[in-house]
Amino acid sequence: MNWDDLRIIAAVRDEGTYAGASARLRIDETTVGRRLARIQRDLGVPLFDAVDGLRRPTRQCEAVLEHVGAMAAHAAAIDRVKESEVGPVGRLRIASTNAVAEELLAPHASSFLRDHPGLTLQFLTSSGNVKFSRWQADLAIRLRKPEKGDFTISKLGEVRLYFFEPADRGGAEPVVCVYPDELDAIPEAQFLRAKRLTNVRCVTDNVRIIRTMIQSHQAIGVLPEHSCGSLLADRSLRATLLPRRRDVWLLVQNHLKRDPATRVTIDWVRACFKDLSHG
Amino acid sequence: MNWDDLRIIAAVRDEGTYAGASARLRIDETTVGRRLARIQRDLGVPLFDAVDGLRRPTRQCEAVLEHVGAMAAHAAAIDRVKESEVGPVGRLRIASTNAVAEELLAPHASSFLRDHPGLTLQFLTSSGNVKFSRWQADLAIRLRKPEKGDFTISKLGEVRLYFFEPADRGGAEPVVCVYPDELDAIPEAQFLRAKRLTNVRCVTDNVRIIRTMIQSHQAIGVLPEHSCGSLLADRSLRATLLPRRRDVWLLVQNHLKRDPATRVTIDWVRACFKDLSHG
DNA sequence: GCATATGGCTGCAAATTTGCAGGAAGCGCC
DNA sequence: GGCGCTTCCTGCAAATTTGCAGCCATATGC
């Protein structure tokens, strides 16, 4: 039994004719006749008598109509669920590095969430533990371009990188902060490896740690522009812009690429990165 | 919003995957995905998150599902309305002459109604007042073939006719019973007119009246075979079989010709007339 | 590492539904 | 009596939905 055909029964009862029901439901009168015939066959009982030019519900039809009325009330309530939300609705789980989340996304998050009251953002910053393929995140911001997978990938932007070293090299040899092996492909790691620095004593991908050590004027390292902040103005440090930038990639679950909430969130993430490129 | 799509939501929630819902509803997994996308667009809210390989209902979806559950209960009750009736169900209004109803149909009505507990017969025997075109009857048994109309017409059979006159013509001249002018076309009326009888003193289409007067052995008239009964064995009467029979026609409302209840009733009416032809 | 099973998406064809147009019938009004 | 309006049915074409096949990805077991 097709539940939607039940609405035909109610309309014919209310209007008394196929033509009246047709106007009410805004479907063709031929369609009303056919769908009524179909639900009548499905139910196996006659639903209307034809008397004096009008369709009159049978006893069985009256019994059916009591239930249809109740179903219509529930359908109306479902429609109100829809109306209770204005704008895109949803919860987006964004997997990214701490730095990206804290310094690129978080500063703009409040205004974005204010502008879209139906949205919720969840930042997954321990991204090593998130399996994108298992739908454990909706979006992922990656520093490496994954070769393939069940997702849609696009380039978010390019991040400028700065090499920091103490201005005064007279003191003790500064420690060198490098990125772990699995990040060998990123420009920062390649740059540092090419310089053949000694005293490599700190290995981490936590840029906050790297930034704190650089700020002590006793360490060497590379930071992305969004993590530099006031370090660029520190006269005890020498900042050198690297020739290469680092690509940043956005991954979107395939089943979400047309989802309205996802689309506005993607636009917002892109704007965050665009602000950076011009800042 | 298509009410039938709401069943898709419930099935995906229950099974956790499109494939599971597909098996449950016995529709293609592609169709599940498309119909879910459609109802999601109609409602304007996301219904499922994808987490750890499963679809999990969102907060709005849970709200919708409460209503869907209630609707499913009503749909089940509607299905039971159908199951409460065994066999064809309906009330058939049959327009016919008194004689046909009383003598051809009524004797067989009890067993027919016993065999079809879901049927009800309503005999409309003041058929002059019934407008078949206004759906005031479902079936009509007519002695004249109507030329046209919004109904399906078929021949029921041919009725044998008997001319009765008193065996002893020595007494007073018997009165002649004839049919009213509007029945001029029927063979009885034509036969009587052709005999150029005098003493035409009784005009009626009520064959019971005609029969009673013939039974008094003081009247002449023509009766259909189903109204003769014991008159044929009365030695004080001379019964002559007319050469012509009278056609009987069945009219069926067009919208009912495929209705199951109507079809079994038509078969029954035909059987009543067939019994007559061989009796 | 390979084979198998499962899930979901896309393109295309088949199936079904819907709308349109025409025709028939009845009713009311002039 | 003729005309206009309304209702409903039927045939056909257009539109939509559904199913199927192929493909891709992931997980599991051997």
- Mean pLDDT, 10 residues at a time, chain B of 279 residues: 94 93 93 94 88 86 94 93 76 83 84 85 72 81 77 84 88 83 80 87 83 89 89 92 87 82 89 71
> Each residue of A62-96: pLDDT tens digit?
999 999 999 999 999 998 887 777 778 888 888 88
- Residues constituting chain B: 279
Rounded distance, CA B221 to CA B174, Å? 10
Which position has the token pair 């030329």? B147
At residue B142, φ and ψ (nearest 5 deg) are: -115, 150
Tell which wins on pLDDT, B110 or A48. Answer: A48
> Each residue of A239-252: pLDDT tens digit?
999 988 888 888 88
- Residues constituting chain A: 279
Residues of A with CB under 8 A from a CB of B: 1-4, 6-7, 42-46, 49-53, 58, 60, 63-64, 67-68, 70-71, 74-75, 77-79, 81-82, 85, 89-91, 134-136, 253, 255-256, 259, 261
Rounded distance, CA B66 to CA B63, Å? 6
- Cβ <8 Å between B78 and A67: yes
pLDDT at A215 over 70: yes
Could you tell me the fold of the domain covering B3-83? Arc Repressor Mutant, subunit A (1.10.10)
Domain B161-244 CATH assignment equals 3.40.50: no
For chain B, what are the domain ranges?
3-83, 90-159+247-278, 161-244
Given this chain, do its domains B90-159+247-278 and B161-244 carry the same CATH topology? yes
> Cα dist. A50→A65, A87, A270, B136 in Å?
17, 48, 64, 8
pLDDT for A36: 95
> Each residue of A163-173: pLDDT tens digit?
999 988 777 78
Note the strand C nucleotides within 7 A of protein beta carbons.
Answer: 6-11, 17-21, 24-27
- Tokens linked to A1: 């039994």
pLDDT for A257: 80
pLDDT at A273 over 90: no
> Cα dist. A98→A91, A206, A228, B18, B218 in Å?
19, 7, 14, 35, 118
Rounded distance, CA B231 to CA B217, Å? 10
Element (H, E) at B177: strand B175-178
Which position has the token pair 């009278």? B246
- Cβ <8 Å between A52 and B136: yes
β-strands A175-178, A200-203 pairing:
parallel
With distances taken from each CA to the C1' atom of nucleotide C26, the closest residue turns out to be: B133
- Domain A90-159+247-278 CATH (choose: 3.60.15.10, 3.40.109.10, 3.40.190.10, 2.40.280.10): 3.40.190.10
Complex-level ipTM beyond the 0.90 threshold: no
Nearest-nucleotide field for B2 (CA, C1'): D17
Structural contact between residues B106 and B60, judged by C-beta atoms closer than 8 angstroms: no
Rounded to two decimals, what is the model's pTM?
A: 0.69
Rounded distance, CA B247 to CA A64, Å? 42
Residue A48's nearest CA partner among A2, A15, A9, A7 is A9
A279 pLDDT band, cuts 50/70/90, is very low
